[in-house]
Amino acid sequence: MKGKVFNIQRYSVNDGEGIRTSVFLKGCPLDCWWCHNPESKKGIRELVYYSSKCIGCGECISSCANGAVSLIDGKLVLNKNLCRMELNCERCCPTGAIEVVGREMTVQEVLAEVEKDRIFFEESKGGVTFSGGEPLMQPEFLKELLSVAQKRGLHTAVDTSGYAPWDIILDIAQYTDLFLYDIKLMRDDLHYKYTGVSNSIILDNLKKLAKIHNNIQVRVPLIPGINNDEQSITELCEFLQTEGIKKVSLLPYHSTGTDKYSRLGETYRLYGLAALSDIELQRALAMAKSFGLDAKIGG
């Protein structure tokens, strides 16, 4: 069985316990304004361009039979309408400025990559984290990855938005040692506005999951002006309190995505938004703790 993977990150230290390898699956049903992995959204292969690595040699232009590549001011411009993803430009680029994001990989291939760091997992109580995109978008592939990984004694984590049919979550829950479950906003209209989807399935799934799984870490990206106000935090904490979910991580917003958007030739909707101050973060943390939650800043 094959799935689409956009990155495998070794020495991943903020996606669960210990030293981990994060496997990022490509494709996501959400369209969050602050997404710092925009290359993960589409379920197809894409070309990414690192202008800082480009030396303007023009090898890519002559390599493309479709005329999709041109250089303007020494920088590459890709005409996506003409591109047939034959990838000759990527192959002949001498500096690696053109990269393909999204590889078809088998379960065995992915796990062979993961196994390379087993000794570090064992030493640090780490393991493998399947993230995205939204890993639940590739349910069969994910299930196979999780079950084989678990059978081999690897600690498994799934980092999900929860936006998937409940059956799928139920199906993988038994193979998942840790859920990293993202919640953005409680108010559905705002959720819809900033992520492109309703949160009802997400919250519903979390309620159900909490009843059958005992290791859920809720993760909340704190976005200035979007969900860091008192009301949003209170609503979220009340919900978690009611559902008996204790562990929550507040992930401070950083403008990290900006760079990646330009690599993809896309625009970033939160351009110029400043990070939260320490004081603001501490206030959010204190609020979460006041609801009896086991809260922390960062993954």
Q: Given the complex with another protein, which of 18 and 196 has the nearer CB atom?
A: 18
Alpha helices (H) along the chain: 59-63, 88-92, 107-115, 118-124, 139-151, 166-173, 188-195, 200-212, 230-243, 257-264, 278-290
Alpha helices (H) along 41-116: 59-63, 88-92, 107-115
CA distances from 72 to 51, 61, 75, 84, 127 (A): 12, 11, 5, 21, 44
Q: Using DSSP bridges, classify how beta strands 75-78 and 69-72 pair: parallel, antiparallel or unpaired.
A: antiparallel
Give the one residue of 6, 12, 25, 130 binding another protein; rule: CB under 8 A: 12
Half-sphere exposure of 292 (CA within 13 A, CB side): 8
Q: Which 49-78 positions form the footprint of another protein (CB under 8 A)?
A: 50, 52-53, 55, 57, 59
| Interface map 106-125 toward another protein (x if CB under 8 A) | ----------xx-xx-xxx-
Q: Given the complex with another protein, which of 168 and 295 has the nearer CB atom?
A: 295
Q: Which stretch binds another protein (CB under 8 A): 149-157, 193-201, 250-258, 283-291?
A: 250-258
Q: Does 262 bind another protein (CB under 8 A)?
A: yes
Q: Does 295 bind another protein (CB under 8 A)?
A: no
Q: Which stretch binds another protein (CB under 8 A): 45-53, 143-151, 198-206, 286-294?
A: 45-53
Give the one residue of 16, 29, 126, 135 binding another protein; rule: CB under 8 A: 126
Q: Does 81 bind another protein (CB under 8 A)?
A: no
CB-based burial label for 151 (10 Å; 0-12, 13-18, 19+)? exposed
Which residues contact another protein by CB under 8 A?
A: 9-15, 18-19, 36-37, 50, 52-53, 55, 57, 59, 94-96, 116-117, 119-120, 122-124, 126, 251-256, 258-259, 262, 275, 299
